[in-house]
Amino acid sequence: MEQRPPVTHQRAGIPEVWLVDLEHRRVTVYREPSPGGYLSEAKVGLEGLLTSLAFPDASIPVARLI
């Protein structure tokens, strides 16, 4: 079952949500909240790097989170 960020996050205007999916060994990054949901969704695999909007100079390997 696909996970989605809580509706309260987008309504509150939280600019970015990371959902760690241990089963599929990836992280889904949601950005650009709107009343209907997040406009941007990216799945980042085990070999990928995550960079937060809040800390653009730092990256975290997905493998460190899984």
Residues ≥6 apart with Cβ < 8 Å to 38: 5, 10, 17, 30, 31, 32
Residue 19 belongs to some domain of the structure: yes
SS3 50: strand
Q: Is the pLDDT of residue 66 over 70?
A: yes
Q: Is the pLDDT of residue 1 over 90?
A: no
pLDDT digits (tens, 9 = 90+) for 9-64: 888 889 999 999 999 999 999 999 988 889 999 999 999 999 999 999 999 999 99
The domain total for the chain is 1
Question: Looking at residue 26, what is its pLDDT?
Answer: 96
**18 half-sphere exposure, CB direction, 13 A CA radius:** 16
Residue 38, both tokens: 């997040």
Residue (of 19, 39, 22, 23) closest to 31 by Cα position: 39
Residue 52 belongs to some domain of the structure: yes
Residue 2 belongs to some domain of the structure: no
pTM for the full predicted model = 0.87
Range of the domain at 57: 7-65
Residue 48 belongs to some domain of the structure: yes
